[in-house]
Amino acid sequence: MKVLEVAVIGSGPAGLYTAEALVKHAAALEGPDWPVRVRVDVYDRLPTPYGLVRYGVAPDHKSIKSIAEYLRRVLESPDVRFLGGVHLGEDVTRDDLLSAYDAVVYATGAMRDRRLGIPGEDLPGSYAATDFVNWYCGHPDVGPGTFILDAESVAVIGVGNVAVDVARILARDPADLHSTDVPQPVLEALQASKVREVHMIGRRGPAHAKFTTKELRELGELPGVEVIVPAAEADPDAFDGTGQGASLAESDRRVRGNMVVIRKWAAGERADGAAAGEGAETAGGPQDGPQRTLTIRFWLRPVEITGTDRVTGVVLERTRLDGSGAFQGTGELETLDAQLVLRSVGYQSVPLDGVPFDERNAVVPNAAGRVLGPDGRPLPGEYVAGWLKRGPTGVIGTNKSDAAETVRSLLADLAGVPAGADAPLPRPGVLRYPDATAPPAGSRVEALEQALARRGIRPVTYDVWLRVEEAEAELARSLGRGERVKLHGRAALLAACWPVRDDSAGHGTARDDSAGHGTARDDSAGDDIVSGASVSGDSVG
Ligand code: NAP
């Protein structure tokens, strides 16, 4: 049976749904050359799998986090291997991958925050929401002490679901997070938080806000938190000369749902129907009234973040849509006092070394997942999936159908389906496989493994990652908290991966974090890389 070797770069939902679809769809294909067995190596720059499911989903969203249980089964497939702590562009090059594998699928997501482009954006106290999310999720790129919540008032710029997540984590009683996997230093910082007011700022109206109703409604269900929306700004007609907002509030199900919730808050009701402040239990008791307020504002855009040594506020300009639908500032300004500003205005993908990148749209140019070269034609053997393919939109599940499309393109190219007159893609022979001149795929992958070992790179295999899971479960037990508590910081993760032990063979003991990106570099690791592969129960030959 033919074996197709595929590298998937990124072990978040897009990468793992791709790996799953590759294995499943290839096995189901019929034809003279089929089935083809597909072996997938899933690389990640981090030593941990699951991407945004681990480092993006808020700790109190347990049901969304349970997607990791589904993705775990993909990594446990005998045809899939995890190679964590291997950074494309630093530890391994695009050429390395293209020489070793029949196809490469890039699925690295969107790691960078979009910028506001206003004065004061880089003042201390002004952060990308991605930094704050990374911090409360325990991402190894952001240290446990990054945020000290000594601000009384926080401005969150943007009204998407990430803004809702950060506003909720800031506003909610940290006691609710005790049984979650939130890292202990983060829980302690939230317990010591001085935050009393959270302001979420939308530059357009309530009908244009990107958040979803379920997530929005949850804000009104937080004990001890009063949600406030100024009545004038909750009116979809106000500041909108086109009537577009009002018609969206009728025609679009999500917007309709959002407006029901927003109107209740504007009328001074809690989402559960109680009057504001009523039944809002606090740590000090219900009689104390709301402990924190969460104010949602619309039709205001930030024009400056103020402060000299650190953030003291945000200058906001009233906006409107004129009769022709043009979005404009009115010149009317107000200053919001805030000692912390979190810019939650969307994520962006970053270019991968050597891989084509459309800077304008911050995606890899592609047609149904086939990476397109500068001449607009598909490059042999290169594919893309997830946010890197379509931009940072949709929920986690959106990546499943997105990955399926990319895999359909890849397998169609493998089959060499002739192009129809009205369908320039797929084109026969676009995939690098089968290539009569190339050595057998397995030996090419082995050669890459040996090259990595020579560079001192020791990938974190799935079985090694399981040691992190065990350490996190143990930490939860020792703290008397839930099922798991995340280890925070790269050093803690790598220490769990490769505990220092007295091992006369010298395997698995050396760690060096100097690479700064989660790869264990070990000069004596030359033979570990192959044994690491066999640990995962897979063969590379
Ligand atoms: P998003 O949904 O695109 O929202 C970005 C927000 O930033 C919008 O309100 C946008 O306003 C605003 N914005 C953009 N540029 C701005 C500027 N210069 N000044 C002021 N405001 C600006 O992005 P996101 O919140 O980062 O979410 C990314 C994706 O992840 C979404 O698909 C989201 O649903 C998903 N997600 C889902 C969940 C969940 O399901 N629980 C949780 C987190 C994230 P405009 O509309 O005016 O551009």
What's the average pLDDT block by block, 10 residues per block, for the chain (541 residues)? Answer: 88 98 83 75 97 96 90 96 97 94 94 93 97 96 94 98 98 96 97 98 97 97 96 92 90 96 91 56 50 97 97 98 93 98 96 96 95 90 96 92 95 63 46 52 86 96 97 98 94 92 42 36 32 26 20
Residue nearest to atom 40 of ligand 1 (CA): 395
> How far is the centre of ligand 1, averaged over its atoms, from the C-alpha of 166 (Å)?
12
Residue nearest to atom 26 of ligand 1 (CA): 346
Q: Find the largest Cα–Cα distance for the chain.
A: 79
Pocket of ligand 1 (CB under 6 A): 116, 157-163, 165, 202-204, 208-210, 215, 301, 344-347, 392-395
Q: Which of 507, 500, 539 is closest to 524 using CA atoms?
A: 507
- Helix (H), strand (E) at residue 20: helix 13-28
Within a 10 A sphere around the Cβ of 292, how many other Cβ atoms? 20
> How far is the centre of ligand 1, averaged over its atoms, from the C-alpha of 162 (Å)?
6
> How far is the centre of ligand 1, averaged over its atoms, from the C-alpha of 349 (Å)?
14
Residue nearest to atom 7 of ligand 1 (CA): 345
d(CA 170, CA 432): 50
Predicted confidence at residue 220, as pLDDT, reads 96
Residue nearest to atom 23 of ligand 1 (CA): 346
d(CA 83, CA 61): 27
> How far is the centre of ligand 1, averaged over its atoms, from the C-alpha of 149 (Å)?
23
| Ligand 1 pocket mutation, candidates 52, 127, 136, 161, criterion most atoms within 8 A of CB | 161
Predicted confidence at residue 424, as pLDDT, reads 46
Q: Tell me how far apart the terminal alpha carbons of the chain are, to the nearest angstrom.
A: 13
Burial 191-206 (b: 16+ CB within 10 A, else e): eebebebbbbbbbbbb
**Helix pair angle (13-28, 398-415), 10° resolution:** 40
C-alpha gyration radius of the chain = 25
| Ligand 1 pocket mutation, candidates 134, 213, 345, 390, criterion most atoms within 8 A of CB | 345
| Ligand 1 pocket mutation, candidates 203, 262, 320, 342, criterion most atoms within 8 A of CB | 203
> How far is the centre of ligand 1, averaged over its atoms, from the C-alpha of 202 (Å)?
10
Please give the number of the atom of ligand 1 that sits closest to the Cα of 204.
47
